[in-house]
Structure 1
Amino acid sequence: ILSDDSPLLNLVTVMGSVFSTGNTNIIVPGQKTSLIATELYQVLDTSDVPGGYVNILTAKENELNKTLSQHENIEGIWYFGADSAQRSDIVKNTTSNIKRYWCPEEKHIDWTNTSEQFLNEFLHQSTQIKNIWIPYGE
């Protein structure tokens, strides 16, 4: 769930980090910048990006937050909005289905930041490490 800050840059940054880890995207762009996201979707639609890999939902600001955060088939949710009440609601809603969430506390993220630490945080949030114990006999 994106804000209206740096509309194309935040969209491409989020989409790129999720692409690089092989995950699908459900993107809710900022209300004022949803046209940019739908234009980019047309570019992706005519390229070799597989169908269903990018899903863009446009809605009024914060309208889909509850639905997406409570949805059982969505594995994780990121919220980049500035509304702290919405942020806490998303965190609370994800507890019922043990969904991963990332809601940075910064009200305005510097999307032009190209530091390795900033970009690695996106990759870290796009992955989940699981340990599997496999018993074997003698």
Structure 2
Amino acid sequence: MAKHDDVAGLWVSGTADECANAKKFSSGNMKIVWTNNGKKLDWFDNHQSEGRVWMRRASQVKNVWIPYGE
């Protein structure tokens, strides 16, 4: 998936090697990759698995400029 050009971003929760490979292989097309760097994540703990950090990673702000006037 990390090498695929039609994939725009990845979230990788895995071993340290899996995370490192995802970062390495995704650099060919400048894809956004967020990993847990091999750290254990408790998906049932609300503090670890949700919140503002997750929302920042799940969304992207884009500005649209509309020219008007002189």
Instruction: State the TM-score, normalizing by the size of structure 1.
Output: 0.43
Give the percent of matched residue pairs that are identical in Structure 1 and Structure 2.
30
- 2:39 pairs with 1:107: yes
Q: Which of 38, 63, 73 is matched with 2:6 structurally?
A: 73
Deviation per residue, 1:76-103 (Å, 9 max, x gap): 1111112x22211211221211211111
Q: CA RMSD in A?
A: 2.0
Q: Equivalent residues in 2 for 1:35-114 (5 A)?
A: 68-82=1-15, 84-114=16-46
Q: Which residue of structure 2 aligns with residue 119 of structure 1?
A: 50
Q: Distance in 2 between matches of 1:81 and 1:106?
A: 6
Please give the secondary structure, in 1, of the residue aligned with 2:19: helix
Unaligned runs of 5+ in 2: none
Deviation per residue, 1:49-85 (Å, 9 max, x gap): xxxxxxxxxxxxxxxxxxx001111111111112x22
Residue-pair matches, total: 69
Shift of 1:118: 4.1
Q: Distance in 2 between matches of 1:136 and 1:79?
A: 43
Letter in 1 for 2:50: L
Change beyond 3 A, Cα 1:88–1:106 = closer
Unaligned runs of 5+ in 1: 1-67
Instruction: State the TM-score, normalizing by the size of structure 2.
Output: 0.75
Structure with the higher fraction of residues in helix conformation: 1
